[in-house]
Amino acid sequence: MGGAAAAGTWKLGDLEVNRIGYGAMRLTGNGMMGNSDGTPIDRDAAVGLLHSAFEQGVNHIDTAAFYFSPLRSANELINRALSSWTGEVVVATKVGPARDPAGEWLTTVRPDQLRGQVEENLRQLGRDHLDVVNLRCGGPRTASIGELFGALAELRQAGLIRHLGLSAVRPEHVAEALTIAPVVCVQNSYGLDWRRADESGLVDLCGERGIAFVPFFAVSGLRREAAAGQEHDERVRSVARAHHATPAQVRLAWTLHRGPHVLAIPGTTNPVHLAENIAAGGLRLTEEDLAVLNKPVSSAT
């Protein structure tokens, strides 16, 4: 078994997906900040890249209506790719604090505004319902997470959303949301260099409750939205050399080894990097590898 299926599968509610997916943030520059003034990605090239991901077994895409630059929208590119693809692909999007049409961040959101955000995603993606909607909880709020999640639960009951998830949360937020409606996934920043979700117990909580944990910035780590840079961590480089793998593949494999409920959504516009990211699902780290990677940086250099 190769391609994205090599890492196994997990269920988002009733939707079974391969654990290696694709994050669409970088399709428009990087979709959030910086790079947006560069040359926009060619639409045909973007559709070709997405089709290549699907051909290699990727059946889970992460996106958001606020992933856009002046001339490109990630959702629009995904819509184009899916309209000419016959296979099943699960699309997970996000609502909550977002960006206005000019790209400025709107840091607060009210429960009554979420329906408009859901409908915006429906229009852009060309769908009559959304597979998974994650409530993005970062930043200041004028309403509680319970109120916001409750509004999404009503839209789920109305048939606009199939499954609900959370993004940028703490364990208590997951517990609160679970009293309102089922949670199929939790997205948080997490990787070898940023393990707050381990310290808080969030990764383990998700595993205990059968919830997918979906790290973002698993490869870029503390660089976050910035373009990939040279790997400086000798722990990662030594394990990569031993497996004839790239450092990015080692970082992805490390997160996938964290538990069978952990997914990966690396993003790229480079076809070679796409293939490498997908191949990381087949990289099996040994206990010795994990011991090296889990050493404090100071004792590994």
Q: Which residues contact 299 (CB under 8 A, 6 or more apart)?
A: none
* 190 is an active site residue: no
Distant-in-sequence, close-in-space partners of 164: CB < 8 Å, separation ≥ 6: 132, 133, 134, 135, 149, 152, 153, 156, 177, 181, 182, 183, 184
3-state secondary structure string across the chain: CCHHHHHCEEEECCEEEECECEECHHHHCCCCCCCCCCCCCCHHHHHHHHHHHHHCCCCEEECCCCCEECCEEHHHHHHHHHHCCCCCCEEEEEECCEECCCCCEECCCCHHHHHHHHHHHHHHHCCCCEEEEEEECCCCCCCCHHHHHHHHHHHHHCCCEEEEEEECCCHHHHHHHHCCCCCCEEEEECECCECHHHHCCHHHHHHHCCCEEEEECCCCHHHCCCCCCCCCCHHHHHHHHHHCCCHHHHHHHHHHCCCCCECECCCCCCHHHHHHHHHHHHCCCCHHHHHHHCCCHHHHC
Q: Which residue has the tokens 């080894």?
A: 257
Of 22, 67, 213, 217, the active-site residue reads 67
CB neighbours of 252 closer than 8 A, spacing ≥ 6? 20, 218, 219, 264, 266, 277, 280, 281, 283
Active centre residues (catalytic):
67
